[in-house]
Amino acid sequence: MKTAQEYIESLRQLKTRVYMFGEKIDNWVDHPMIRPSINCVAMTYAVAEDPQYADLMTVTSSLTGHKINRFTHLHQSTEDLINKVKMQRLLGQKTASCFQRCVGMDSFNAVFSTTYEVDEKYGTHYHENFKKFLTYIQDEDLVVDGAMTDPKGDRSKAPHDQADPDMYVHVVERRPDGIVVCGAKCHQTGSVNSHWHIFMPTISMGEADKDWAVSFACPTDAEGMYMIYGRQSCDTRKLEEDASIDVGNAKFGGQEALVVLDHVFIPNEYIFLNGEYEFAGMMVERFAGYHRQSYGGCKVGVGDVVIGATALAAEYNGVEKASAVKDKLIEMTHLNETLYCCGIACSSQGFKTKAGNYQIDLLLANVCKQNVTRFPYEIVRLAEDVAGGLMVTMPSQKDFHSETVVGRNGETIGEICNKYFKTKEDVSTEDRQRVLRFLENMCLGAAAVGYRTESMHGAGSPQAQRIMIARQGNIQAKKQLAKDIAGIQ
């Protein structure tokens, strides 16, 4: 398995095309706006090296029998599913951000089981293709981005009805040795930091959409593939001098990008679906289920850090003993642990697929994600309540260090800031700055993209879960229960 440093160095070997602010970024590995997100992924390697986390972070491959990072694993039991959630909570606690490898792990398990059933019906070789690919990924300990979300264009129209066919990734040419694809994927978490991508359909499809019913693997630096880096709130603070406190979380961060495929050639051995449109929905639902389970782990770990920072802010402000503050911290903890309960529940009720890996309980996974679309917003609201207005009105770090004289007795701007933003005698003004800026980052800044907003839209926005809950809820069976007890024939 790779070390954290080996992972970072491996990115330097790629010829990935990255654009930001309208310009190509040559050394994107060391770019101050991108590097925190790379540090997050590196933590998935670093923690795997720590013996105390070996049971969570490493596992024996079902394909090779070798020791591998759990992020490249095919779940072999409900215990595996539970340990996945525990691992994600741990890494959320370590980074307070999105560590970006969950989408790849979830795509592995969805594509593995779906390709088995496609081959079973059509006699294709997609499942064998995928097993060979995943064996390579496990052996090399690589990061793979799971790419599902298409731009969609006019959402009232199916892929084949779009004015621009590139609104969904599709096949533009079929050759004896492979296919050529065009299109794009939006909101791609960790795409720049990945060695490979797995592309999947984003919706169920009909026969007219068979050219859009495609799944395949592609190296991140493939010819014709490039990425346009997404903006985040307060992101340019990372470019400022003397702003490490103002950034909030200077070491770690998330990442999203638009991934564009401009006539990219995909060899046959990396194709996992190619026109079998009736299986597009199966792949979508299975991936979505796994990814909605993931949010019962990663968002809970980040929530742990938000709660801790909120308690620190209360302590630094001198209000930690107030009953109202204690009650708010209890409520934040209650909400966070409820999310964790959902992640554990859908994992413990998992079942074995035809392919042999384990699938979570889809109903409970969607209930988990439905709660994630709500509870982090309340956790953040309570954090902002306890922290106070200074979280968003505090002068810059440069002001606290400024030697510009402004007072009649020769006081500098820095001295004035440190004087008026002083709190308890045993708490430094800088520590108060740090925790408030950290909370600003978590609640409103760049980290909020990977916590609050992603809680709403990641793995499907709320209505997507409600549709699945309606499908899985089995209302007819519940009506029959009522009839049986009420004596209705």
Where in the sequence numbering do the catalytic residues fall? Answer: 98, 102, 189, 256, 291, 295, 298, 454
Q: At what angle do helices 323-348 and 280-294 cross, to 10 degrees?
A: 140
Q: Both ends of the chain: CA-CA distance in Å?
A: 62
Q: How far apart are CA 12 and CA 89, in angstroms?
A: 29
Q: Which of 11, 19, 22, 29 is nearest to 225 (CA)?
A: 19
Helix-then-strand count for the chain, H and E: 20, 14
CB 70 within 8 A of CB 59: yes
Long-range contacts of 469-473 (CB under 8 A, 24+ apart): 469/363, 469/366, 469/367, 469/370, 472/362, 472/363, 472/366, 473/363
CA angle 461-466-468, nearest 5°? 100
Helix (H, G, I), strand (E, B) or coil at 198: strand
3-class secondary structure, 195: coil
Closest C-alpha among 270, 282, 265, 266 to residue 126:
270
How far apart (Å, rounded) are the C-alpha atoms in residues 160 and 167? 10
Side-chain-side CA neighbours of residue 93 (13 Å) = 13
Q: What is the dihedral of CA 377, 462, 275, 154, to 10 degrees?
A: -100
Q: Which residues contact 88 (CB under 8 A, 6 or more apart)?
A: 102, 294, 297, 298, 300, 301
Contacts of 175 (CB under 8 A, 6+ apart): none
Structure tokens at 399: 């002001």
Q: Is residue 101 within 8 Å of residue 44, measured between CB atoms?
A: yes
* Calpha distance 386→320 (Å, rounded): 9
φ and ψ at residue 83, rounded to 5 degrees: -65, -30
Closest CA to 272 of 64, 117, 159: 117
Q: Name the residue among 334, 344, 447, 368 with its Cα closest to residue 92.
A: 447
Which H or E run contains 260? strand 257-267
